[in-house]
Amino acid sequence: MIDIQRMSFRYQRNRPIYDALTLTLSPGNVYGLLAPNGAGKSTLLRLMAGLLYPTSGQIRAGDYSPADRKPAFLEDMFFVPEEFYLPPVRIRQFIDSNAPFYPRFDRAQMAHYLREFDLTDNLKLSELSYGQKKKVLIGFGLATNTAVLLMDEPTNGLDIPSKSQFRRLVAGAIDERRTVVISTHQVRDLEALIDPIVILAGEPGGVMNVGLNASVEEISARLWFGLTAELDLHRPIVYSERTVGGYAIVAENHTGESSRLDLERLYNAVQTNPARIKQLFSSANITTNA
């Protein structure tokens, strides 16, 4: 579990990014972390990993504070950053050098991931493309079997077949003790994988806070996604956009009508109407943010 209580953070004294952010992420889930570009998704992951330190408030990962960087925390957490450096060694040397730091690392699992990604352990990392290097790092992170796995834009650099493989492999690596957080702006890539969904939205003063933290089931029960020829002024619409032949809308779902969740339009609804979204989900006793 990752528990963030009234956490604040700023790079510059008068420009806070987070102010009293509260968020709880439970094990056994693949959380999708969505936010505007440059709004602090990577920063939040680095705070969870203990690479940055809160200005105030508290972050707990299980029994540990990430900022303390205790060995017992580090061996049970793995972070796949968007930008990374890998040494000019063969994949097998990389595995041999780093696997001992993770007590639950599974070499057979790692070998399976390499085969899935059409890689062999005798390949030299310095001769691989960015996408191939990312596959190695993703496979390694999954094979660590850490309680916390953080991934920042993991599908960047992957082609369409590899994105499908990524979704399948991540889904197969989840168990009841593991909390996975994936930060992304490519919502279409991960629509069938991430659940619950955390969306950050801006507040007065330019700080980011939690606009939504809910499961797909909860979202589908309270919001309806669909296409209409004309806007119905009697329907409680939260968000709408013009499309060919009509409008794509997100509306309050008072009748329990089923619809297919559209992550992109849900994201836009949270950004354009955060107060209404927060009210809708808070009134249903769904944890968004205090």
| pLDDT per residue as tens digits for the range 196-231 | 999 999 877 778 899 999 999 999 999 999 999 988
Mean pLDDT, rounded, of the chain: 91
Could you count the other beta carbons within 10 Å of the beta carbon of residue 101? 12
Please list the residues that pair with 199 across neighbouring strands.
Answer: 34, 212
Q: Which residues, given as ranges, of the chain have pLDDT below 50?
A: 284-290
| Residue-range domains of the chain with CATH | 2-202 (3.40.50.300), 215-282 (no CATH)
pTM over 0.85: yes
**Category of 203 on φ-ψ map: left (φ > 0), alpha (ψ -120 to 50) or beta:** beta
Quick one: pLDDT at residue 288? 40
Quick one: pLDDT at residue 283? 53
Residue 180 sits at the vertex; the CA angle it makes with 51 and 155, to the nearest 5 degrees, is 85
CA-CA distance, 278 to 290, in Å (whole number)? 10
Place of tokens 């972390």: 33
